[in-house]
Structure 1
Amino acid sequence: MGLKSDHWIREKSIKENMISPFCENQVGTDVVSYGVSSYGYDIRVGDEFKIFTNVSSTVVDPKDFNEKNIVDFKGDVCIVPPNSFALARTVEYFKIPKNVLAICLGKSTYARCGIIVNVTPFEPEFEGHITIEISNTTPLPAKIYANEGIAQVLFLEGDEQCQTTYKDKKGKYQGQEGITLPRILK
């Protein structure tokens, strides 16, 4: 399994539309950086957020998610309350190749402020926007800048083709657009 370079990422994105919209170079002046890096792609967070709240005092249940747990927000800067959490989505839409697994890690600019980004791996043949989990671990409100970098994606090419891709198993988040809340198959 090999980690893929900037050249490979550009080729797959330009010829096969792996990342759309695609930024061929890294943009980093006066913004949290985004675009192609040496061995990854820095994704941007969109301008729509779902911020967790305890106003309704409901329980967070991944099997039966109650939308009273969140407040919708749209804007250039999202304030995540202290010790709280928000969901967002990438600006970019992904089409992961059959023999590739992508892993996403939060950017150090946010991590150094106590903001932790979590994204599960992008499985082979996953297609869609990526839902991003943003945790503010600090006792202070935290700013998240829309349309700027939030995390870096690393692409790993398998030594052999897997038997079942995310598309083959009809993954529950396949083709997701916008911010997708937790689901279970029924």
Structure 2
Amino acid sequence: MTIKSDRWIQVMAREYGMIEPFVAEQVRGGIISYGLSSYGYDMRVADEFKVFTNVFNTLVDPKHFDPRSFVDIRGDYCDIPPNSFALARSVEYFRIPRNVLCIVLGKSTIARCGIIVNVTPLEPEWCGYVTIEISNTTPLPARIYANEGIAQVLFLESDEPPLVSYADKAGKYQNQTGVVPPRL
């Protein structure tokens, strides 16, 4: 697998709608940067968040997920409580080509604050807004700013397409919109 450059990302975004909206340069200046980089794309976090709460004393069970585990927050930022967790989504909608797999890594500015960003791989032919898992590992509240950079997407192109893509198997998170909690 080969990592793809800014040139390839730009062509795929503009001609095939791989990333929408697409920002063709790094946007900086008093914000956490986002947009096209040398070998990746720094995606932004939208203004929709689901933050874990223990108000209803629910059990977190991936097979029987209780939506009361979260409180919904919408705004210019989200303060995640100490040692807590939130789900969010990307501003950008992604359409991953059949012979490409994406790995998403948290930005250093975020990581250096004790905030861990996790995203599972974006599989071949997956489409949707990326659900972003954000963990505050600190004993202090942590602020996440909406519409600013949160993670970098790396595009890895295979020399051959897979036998079965995410679209072929009708993956449960295909074409997701909004912040999507666990599905079984």
TM-score band, normalised by shorter chain: over 0.9
Q: Bigger CA drift: 131-140 or 50-59?
A: 50-59
Code of the residue aligned with 1:6 in structure 2: it is D
Matches within 5 A, 1:1-186: 1-184=1-184
Unaligned regions of 5+ residues in structure 1, if any?
none
Give the alignment's TM-score, normalised by structure 1.
Answer: 0.98
d(CA) in 1 for partners of 2:67, 2:103: 28
Runs of 4+ in structure 1 displaced over 4 angstroms? none
CA displacement, residues 5-59 of structure 1 (integer Å, 9 cap, x when unaligned): 0000000000000000000001011110000000000000000100001111111
Q: CA deviation at 1:68?
A: 1.1
Secondary structure of 1:51's aligned partner: strand
Unaligned regions of 5+ residues in structure 2, if any?
none
d(CA) in 2 for partners of 1:47, 1:35: 17
d(CA) in 2 for partners of 1:161, 1:88: 30
Identity %: 65
d(CA) in 2 for partners of 1:63, 1:32: 35
d(CA) in 2 for partners of 1:107, 1:34: 10
d(CA) in 2 for partners of 1:166, 1:30: 38
Q: CA deviation at 1:159?
A: 1.4
d(CA) in 2 for partners of 1:131, 1:97: 19
Secondary structure of 2:183's aligned partner: coil
- How many pairs were matched up? 184
RMSD: 0.4
d(CA) in 2 for partners of 1:28, 1:8: 22
CA displacement, residues 76-129 of structure 1 (integer Å, 9 cap, x when unaligned): 010000000000000000000000000000001010000000000000000000
